[in-house]
Amino acid sequence: RSSPFLKMAVHGPVVKIHPVVLASIADSYERRNEGASRVIGTLLGTVDKHSVEVTNCFSVPHNESEDEVAVDMEFAKNMYELHKKVSPTEVIIGWYATGFDITEHSVLIHEYYSREAVNPIHLTVDTALQSNKMNIRAYISAQMGVPGKTVGVMFTPLTVKYIYYDTERIGVGLLQRTRDAPNRAKGLTSDLCQVGGAATRVQDMLTTVLAYIEEVLSGKVQADNSVGRFLTDLVSKVPKISAEDFESMLNSNINDLLMVTYLANLTQAQIALNEKLVIL
Amino acid sequence: RDVAKRARMSSAASSATRAGSLNGRPGRSCIPIGPHVVLKMIKHYQEEGQGTEVVQGVLLGLVVEDRLEITNCFPFPQHTEDDADFDEVQYQMEMMRSLRHVNIDHLHVGWYQSTYYGSFVSRALLDSQFSYQHAIEESVVLIYDPIKTAQGSLSLKAYRLTPKLMEICKEKDFSAEGLKKAMIGFEHMFEEVPIVIKNSHLINVLMWELEEKSTVADKHELLNLSSSNHLEKSLQLLMDRVDDMSQDIVKYNTYSRNLSKQQQQKHQYTQRRQQENAQRQTRGEPPLPEEDISKMFKPPQPPPRMDTLLIAGQINNYCQNVKEFTSQNLGKLFLAEALQGHNS
């Protein structure tokens, strides 16, 4: 009776993560103390009716050994107070840990966080890449067991989504382009180069689309109606303007921009001149 | 037709000058920045910045020989009227102490500030940057332009005060003679330091994962053709500054006119005195005592030149931004032309 697509159960809020949180977690993992196998920290954000938005985080020092775990709670409280001064709307919504699995120590830490927040979220990020992937998962705890007997805690998984502000998306776009650079370093280019880069990207996309169309026309690939509809949309998006109208619009825009450039140059020459006269 | 040719040449020229200044001065290498620093700054402005208010924060990192590396940052709360007892220094000290526990570099290597359309050259910035640079020679101020970033490309620039300006700030000699002696022009106030974003391998893995998992579509704001709003605002700010500048110039002109008038008066007075003395000598009377001329004619107060310098620097910055913007837009217009050319 079970369906072939067994998805993770979604019995809780949707977790929306901003990329800044993941980047900070990666950074704290890189800075961990010698001998520590994982890093934990607090997650800050806002809670909605059906979702939880994680917007910030900070790492908390802790010691973990085979049989005991110690978390610096004073530190966590202090840091939260300091963070509240900058963004008063952020509240503690849970905690994160790097590593693949949920251990028994996690249960204890989760209990501590249950005192700080209502229904805390637990986020795991596998920074050691044990499964060749950075499994980013979120859990919420639920009580389980037979009533009357010992009660256990079960961590139920939640759906994780990534959300970005517009400016964040542009920042992440730049970071993604950095990963292709040879020594993982990338400078910020001048404006005109950026337009060139964007144009190249659009050109690449057009080449891919054209290759697909060629294949469909020659019968190698089955034609897909929905893709065809998108293509018609695409072609009709370029506005049909008569040649003279377009040329006059183009020229007037170019004239405006040239005039502004000329004025800017004139102003710069003027202040340079003024300075020379004053220093005389 | 030749309008287009002229446009192409001017856009090439302005982009060439821009590329030249981006190479940085010889001997000053690039500053690597960790990617989470960039994301944190973006988030800080997005959540706490409204309109023309600036958001500020502190940059942490290390100084390796003479190179600077920025590895972390934390934001500064806004100055509100009701937090009269808020102690900035205490906040900073507590933050740094806590961060030390989690192995984050706690060296203050600079600070960052958001800007509104590129206006950041002010006395306050100068003073803050001077105090930072006095402590650590390599410190920089990162200027983040959120409006330009929202238009498609991350706009982050690092500035440092030139050694000449540092000298002047140290002497606190902002008078006209001091500035003349140091031969400071508005172009020599700040030097831009190129920055590089350095990804660690882990962050690279994260980026690959995000690309796979996230379904956020690219909105291509960079290729947006509408530009008049941004241009209007920039030009409005430029006009305000030029007005300030012209007022300053008027003040200076009146001052120099007053000065020359006074010189003339002094000259006349000494001449009359000498004549009288000569006459008295012929008559055999004792000459009149020499009076202190400078006390009689008090020299007019020269207007302060530092503000003019700052305004000139700001105007220069606006002009540079406007030129960059126009060259980018010209490129986009030619792109649109090419697209139409295929169709018509």
Task: Supply the DSSP string of B252-296, one letter for each residue.
Answer: HHHHHHHHHHHHHHHHHHHHHHHHHHHHHHHHTPPPPPPP-HHHH
Residues B193 and B279 in one domain: no
How many residues are present in chain A? 280
pLDDT at A26 over 80: yes
Give residue-wise pLDDT tens across range B267-295: 888 888 888 888 888 887 777 776 666 66
* Per-residue pLDDT, A182: 59
User: B22 in a domain, yes or no?
Assistant: yes
| Strand ranges, E, within chain B | 31-33, 56-64, 67-75, 107-114, 140-144, 156-161, 190-193, 195-198
Residues B65 and B154 in one domain: yes
User: B210 in a domain, yes or no?
Assistant: no
Reported confidence tier of residue B129, pLDDT bands at 50, 70, 90: confident
Give residue-wise pLDDT tens across range B93-112: 888 888 888 888 878 888 89
Are A184 and B199 an interchain contact pair (Cβ–Cβ within 8 Å)? yes
pLDDT at B29 over 60: yes
Residues B187 and B279 in one domain: no
Residues B132 and B258 in one domain: no
Are A170 and B154 an interchain contact pair (Cβ–Cβ within 8 Å)? yes
* Per-residue pLDDT, B190: 83
pLDDT at B46 over 50: yes
Residues B241 and B334 in one domain: yes
SS3 (DSSP) at B264: helix
In A135-242, where does DSSP find H-type helix? 166-178, 191-217, 225-237
Reported confidence tier of residue B17, pLDDT bands at 50, 70, 90: very low
* Per-residue pLDDT, A185: 55
SS3 (DSSP) at A14: strand
Residues B144 and B284 in one domain: no
Of B167 and B40, the one with more pLDDT: B40
At position B163, the amino acid (one-letter code) is: P
Q: What is the DSSP letter of B28?
A: -
pLDDT at B22 over 50: no
Residues B253 and B194 in one domain: no
Reported confidence tier of residue A225, pLDDT bands at 50, 70, 90: confident
Are B200 and A26 an interchain contact pair (Cβ–Cβ within 8 Å)? yes
Exposed/middle/buried for A177, CB within 10 Å: 0-12, 13-18, 19+?
A: middle
ipTM: 0.81
Number of domains in chain B: 2
* Per-residue pLDDT, A4: 36
* Pair of tokens at residue A8: 């993770």
* Per-residue pLDDT, A101: 74
* 8 Å CB contact between B112 and B41: yes
- Return phi, psi of residue A203, to 5°: -60, -45
Assigned CATH class of A14-163? alpha beta
Are A170 and B150 an interchain contact pair (Cβ–Cβ within 8 Å)? yes
Last residue of a domain, one of B178, B200, B222: B200
Residues B38 and B184 in one domain: yes
Establish if A208 touches chain B: CB-CB under 8 angstroms. no
The whole-chain average pLDDT of chain B stands at 77
Are A261 and B15 an interchain contact pair (Cβ–Cβ within 8 Å)? no
H/E segment holding residue A52: strand A51-60
pLDDT at B21 over 60: no
Four-residue CA torsion sign, A113, A114, A118, A123: positive
In A, which residues are within 8 Å of B152 by CB distance? 170, 194, 198
* Per-residue pLDDT, B304: 73
* Pair of tokens at residue B18: 């821009």
pLDDT at A97 over 50: yes
Residues B73 and B175 in one domain: yes
User: B215 in a domain, yes or no?
Assistant: no
Residues B166 and B26 in one domain: yes
The whole-chain average pLDDT of chain A stands at 80
Lowest mean pLDDT among A22-26, A217-221, B13-17, B303-307: B13-17
* Pair of tokens at residue A113: 């966080």
Highest mean pLDDT among A182-186, B7-11, B78-82, B208-212: B208-212
* Per-residue pLDDT, B182: 66
* Per-residue pLDDT, A229: 87
* 8 Å CB contact between B197 and B35: yes
- How large a percentage of chain A has pLDDT more than 70? 89
Q: How far is CA A166 from the centre of its chain?
A: 11
Exposed/middle/buried for B221, CB within 10 Å: 0-12, 13-18, 19+?
A: middle
User: B206 in a domain, yes or no?
Assistant: no
At position A110, the amino acid (one-letter code) is: H
Are B203 and A26 an interchain contact pair (Cβ–Cβ within 8 Å)? yes
Lowest mean pLDDT among A85-89, B143-147, B261-265, B299-303: B299-303
Which of B46, B195, B344 is the closest to A188 by Cβ? B195
Give residue-wise pLDDT tens across range B185-243: 777 788 888 888 888 878 888 887 777 776 555 666 677 777 777 888 888 888 888 88
Are B152 and A170 an interchain contact pair (Cβ–Cβ within 8 Å)? yes
**Domain enclosing residue B330, as ranges:** 231-343
Q: Which of B227, B253, B319, B332 to mutate to test the interface with A (most CBs of A within 10 A)?
A: B319
What is the mean pLDDT of the segment spanning B153-158?
Answer: 82
Tell me how close the Cα of B120 comes to any Cα of chain A, in angstroms.
18
Residues B166 and B308 in one domain: no
Of A217 and A4, the one with more pLDDT: A217
Tell me how close the Cα of B15 comes to any Cα of chain A, in angstroms.
6
Residue of A nearest to B202 (CA): A26
* Per-residue pLDDT, B15: 40
* Per-residue pLDDT, A7: 40
What is the mean pLDDT of the segment spanning B39-58?
Answer: 82
* Per-residue pLDDT, A9: 45
Give residue-wise pLDDT tens across range A144-181: 777 777 777 788 888 888 888 878 887 887 777 777 66
Of A255 and B307, the one with more pLDDT: A255
Give residue-wise pLDDT tens across range A36-76: 778 888 899 888 888 888 888 888 888 877 777 788 888 88
- Give the CATH number, domain containing residue B137: 3.40.140.10
Measured between alpha carbons, how far is B118 from B123 in angstroms, rounded to an integer?
A: 15
Residues B184 and B267 in one domain: no
What is the mean pLDDT of the segment spanning A250-264?
Answer: 88
Question: Strands B67-75 and B56-64, how do they pair?
Answer: antiparallel
Residue of B nearest to A253 (CA): B333
